[in-house]
Structure formats: C-alpha cells, structure tokens
Structure 1
Amino acid sequence: MAVLTDDMKKLIADSFAFIATVDENGNPQVGPKGTMRIFDDEHLIYNEQTGHQAWHNLQENHKIAVAFHPHPGMKGIRVEGRAVIHQGDQIHTDAQAYATENKLPDVIAAIVISIDRIVSLDAGPNAGIEIINDPVK
C-alpha cells in the first residue's frame, strides 16, 4: 500500500475532499465528503451519512478516488484505492462517536479507503504525475 507523507497529511488536513465513484453502467459520480480524514498512514476514512449515489455505487464497485486541493492553493493530490464498508463493528462505532462529537448526522457506515495510488494535482507541469503506485496485492 502507498504511505502518506507528512506533507500529504498536512495537505489533506487543509483540504476539502471530493470522491469519485462509478455506477453499474459506468457512469461517473463526484461528490463532496466533509468527514474525510486520515485513518492511518495507509488509509482514509469517511462517514457515509446520506446513503445516496456514492453509497449505491460502492455496494457494487469498491474502486474510489479522492481529490484533495486546498483553496487557494497550487498543490493537490488524488488518492486512488478500494473502499471497505464497515457496519456494526468498532470502526463503525468510532465513526458514530466522531459524528456525535461534531454534531453530524448519524452514520450509515464508515468507509475505509486503502491508499493504492497517489497522483499529483499540482497546477503546472507536475499535474497528473504519479507519485506512488503500490496497490494491495
């Protein structure tokens, strides 16, 4: 798995996340995830609260991409990986506690994302350059 550097962690903390998923017909969907955060050096996590399109898509296809780009800013990253859905376990319970502490809606599930690939979203000639590619075997 790819490992987040300290600089990447800071960028993530300073950014608003957008996820990309694909439905069963191959149609892309992009949406914001305000609860996206670092789970550990190799995973991200967010609280699934709406149960709408991204939730539907992740039921069938666990591939996901997350874009982080602070505004204003010239640097960003895209994280690609696989989503694992957690319901009824300790990760789900911890996500609900996070929601309660932050006065957020109840959690349908906690989504943990493996970090398999990281791509630069920097403005300029480094845009699209692969930084790390280390998928789970």
Structure 2
Amino acid sequence: MAKLTQEMKDLMDKGLAFLATADENGNPQVGPKGTMRVFDDEHLIYNEETGRQAWHNIQATGKAAVAFHPTPGLKGFRVEGRATTYTDGPYMENAKQFVEGTKLPQPMAAVVITVDRIVTLDAGPNAGTEIANDPVKD
C-alpha cells in the first residue's frame, strides 16, 4: 500500500473530494463526496448515502480514484485504489459516528479505499507526477 504523508492528509482535510469510478462497461462517473476523509495512512473512508451510481460501480469493479484540490490552491492529490464496502463492523461504526450530531443522513454503508497510487494535481510542470505506486498483490 502507498502511504499518505501528513502534508497530503492536511490538504485532503481542507478540500472537497471528488470520487471517480467506472462501471462494468468502462463508463466513467465522477461526483463530490462530502463525507470522504482520511481513515489512516493507507486508507480513505466515506459514508455511502444514496446507493446509486458510484455504489453500483464500486460493487461491479472495486476500483476508485479520489481527487482532492482545495480552492483556491495550486496543489492537490489524486489517490487511486481498491474500494471495499462494509455494512457492519468497525468501519460502519466509524461512518455512524461521523454523522452523529449533524444533519447528514445515516449511512447505508462505509466505503474504504485502500491507497495504491498517489499522483500530484499541482498546477504547472509537476502536474501528474506519480508520488507513490504500491498496490497490494492479491
């Protein structure tokens, strides 16, 4: 697994995350995920609330990419990895705790993305530079 640095985690905490997936036919989908957050140095987590297109795509392919780019800013990161859904257990408990005391809906699942690859989304000549690429071998 690739590891997130503290700089990356701090930036991710400030930016809105956009989740990209593709269905079983390769059709892309992208959308904001307001509950996306860093779980630990090697995982992201978000609360699945709708069970629609991204949910379907993750069930079908298990692949995801997440872009973080705070506005305004000239620095960002894309994280790519394998997505796994949980409807019970500690990840689901984390998702439920995340919405406590908010107006957010209760999650139908927690989605955990294992960080396999990290790429810069910086403006200028460093755009698209691969920082880490360390997928877990099945």
Q: What is the SS of the residue equivalent to 1:10?
A: helix
- Whole-angstrom distance in 2 between the partners of 1:80 and 1:60: 16
**How many angstroms does 1:102 deviate by?**
2.5
Q: What are structure 1's unaligned runs of at least 5 residues?
A: none
**Shift of residue 83, structure 1, vs aligned partner:** 0.4
C-alpha deviation, 1:25, in angstroms: 1.4
Give the equivalent residue in structure 2 for 1:11: 11
Match of 2:128 in 1: 128
Identity of aligned residues (%): 64
1:70 paired to 2:74: no
The letter of the residue matching 1:74 is L
Query: One-letter code of the match for 2:68?
Result: F
- 2:97 aligns with 97
Supply the distance in 2 between the matched residues of 1:89 and 1:96 (Cα, whole angstroms): 11
Q: Secondary structure at the match of 1:56?
A: helix
> What corresponds to 1:47 in structure 2?
47
| Structure 2 alignment gaps of length 5 or more | none
Equivalent in the alignment of 2:61? 61
TM-score (norm 1): 0.97
Q: TM-score, normalised by structure 2?
A: 0.96
Moved over 2 A (4+): 100-103
RMSD: 0.9
